[in-house]
């Protein structure tokens, strides 16, 4: 029986337990993976706390993003997938298709091959972060040379992906972090400017950097009352992409800034990419090509063994990391 991580009650990472669980039969359109690594995401922390869009069916599996090898497929699935090294792009039920363990069963539609120049640890640290950033910045934001892009929570895996995509498109990446502790590392990862929001006036600094124009694109997973400050830093006709609610506070609409600047505030999740197979194919190819030639490079913050999954999520939630936290199998 494969060893997998499950939880039997809603709560924090201390409820995650390693168990021997019998393999289940594949359902239509599913494949079985021998998992080698699992990348962690904030979505899972919300999920096992009962705060995500999907409510857990207990006892529940957990995890969206794995790298591994396809070892069996449903009869209706193309046999060409057999033996391939793949990553998962999320989008399915964590209760039904959670990937944290030695074995994962996922829909074939969630598979994407990663370049051979990446390790399995790196392969588990690409699709969720780069697809999330791609959808807002490239597909919707259409960033280009001359644009200024503010990236909040920039030391997260998605934040670092956004820095890399912004730079690759020739735009200026303005990373934010709470204190100056991570400033040098964010600059080393490609940020043109770093603003420590607890130490500096964000709108004032953005105005200085942009010559008074403000940022055309703001990419934010925090939301809450700080959106008023972000709106003050935005350019005329700018857009604030809200892709998360980490503040866990109500988010007001910045009415006066919206009127004065023609400002747009847009909710966004990676589901917008996943719901259209053609869009997903375009996005994964865009990312694959840049991973292959080295323009994009995932940053691994720390790895943990499977037995220490609870500690891995505690570390993720500490906000101390820069980059992706990965569990190795």
Locate the domains of the chain by residue range: 3-126+298-328, 128-271
Tell me the pLDDT tens digit for each residue of 61-87: 999 999 999 999 999 999 999 999 999
CATH superfamily of domain region 128-271: NAD(P)-binding Rossmann-like Domain (3.40.50.720)
Tell me the pLDDT tens digit for each residue of 246-303: 999 999 999 999 999 999 999 999 999 999 999 999 999 999 999 999 999 999 999 9
Closest CA to 40 of 329, 266, 290, 315: 315
Separation between Cα atoms, residue 64 and residue 25, nearest integer Å: 20
Q: Model confidence at 91, in pLDDT bands (50, 70, 90)?
A: confident
3-126+298-328 against 128-271: fold identical:
no
Separation between Cα atoms, residue 108 and residue 236, nearest integer Å: 43
Sheet holding 172-177, edge to edge: 193-196, 172-177, 148-151, 215-220, 234-242, 264-267
3-126+298-328: CATH architecture: Alpha-Beta Complex (3.90)
**Phi, psi at residue 47, to the nearest 5°?**
-65, -50
Tell me the pLDDT tens digit for each residue of 121-160: 999 999 999 999 999 999 999 999 999 999 999 999 999 9
Based on the number of CB atoms within 10 Å of its own CB, is 42 exposed (0-12), middle (13-18) or buried (19 or more)?
buried
Q: Model confidence at 53, in pLDDT bands (50, 70, 90)?
A: confident
Averaged over 18-26, what is the pLDDT? 96
Q: Model confidence at 90, in pLDDT bands (50, 70, 90)?
A: confident
Based on the number of CB atoms within 10 Å of its own CB, is 198 exposed (0-12), middle (13-18) or buried (19 or more)?
exposed
At residue 217, the pLDDT reads: 98
Tell me the pLDDT tens digit for each residue of 94-120: 999 999 999 999 999 999 999 999 999
Q: What is the pTM of this model?
A: 0.95
Tell me the pLDDT tens digit for each residue of 177-203: 999 999 999 999 999 999 999 999 999
């Amino acid at each position: 029986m494969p060893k997998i991580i499950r939880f039997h009650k809603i709560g924090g990472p201390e409820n995650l337990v390693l168990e021997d669980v019998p393999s289940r039969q594949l359902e239509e359109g599913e494949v079985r993976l021998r998992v080698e690594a699992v990348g962690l995401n904030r979505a899972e922390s919300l999920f096992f706390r009962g705060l995500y869009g999907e409510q857990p069916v207990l006892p529940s599996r957990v995890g969206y993003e794995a790298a591994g090898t396809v070892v069996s497929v449903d009869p209706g699935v193309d046999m060409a997938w057999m033996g391939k090294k793949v990553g998962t792009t999320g989008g399915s039920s964590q209760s039904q298709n959670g990937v944290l363990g030695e074995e994962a069963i996922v829909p074939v539609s969630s598979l994407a091959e990663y370049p051979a120049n990446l390790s399995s640890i790196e392969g588990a640290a690409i699709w969720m972060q780069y697809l999330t950033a791609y959808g807002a910045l490239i597909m919707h934001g259409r960033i280009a040379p001359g644009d200024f892009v503010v990236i909040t929570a920039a030391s997260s895996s998605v934040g670092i992906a956004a820095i890399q995509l912004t730079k690759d498109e020739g735009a200026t990446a303005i990373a934010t972090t709470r204190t100056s502790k991570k400033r040098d590392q964010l600059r080393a990862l490609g940020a043109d400017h770093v603003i420590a929001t607890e130490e500096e006036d964000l709108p004032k600094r953005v105005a200085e950097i942009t010559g008074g124009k403000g940022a055309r694109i703001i990419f934010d997973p925090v939301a809450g009352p700080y959106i008023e400050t972000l709106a003050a830093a935005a350019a005329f006709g700018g857009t604030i992409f809200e892709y998360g609610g980490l503040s866990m506070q109500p988010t007001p609409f910045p009415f006066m800034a919206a009127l004065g600047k023609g400002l747009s505030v847009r909710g966004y999740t990676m589901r917008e990419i996943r719901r259209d197979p053609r869009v997903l194919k375009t996005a994964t190819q865009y990312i694959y090509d840049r991973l292959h030639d080295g323009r994009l490079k995932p940053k691994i913050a720390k790895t943990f063994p499977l037995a220490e999954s609870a500690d891995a999520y505690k570390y993720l939630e500490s906000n101390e990391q820069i980059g992706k936290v990965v569990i190795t199998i």
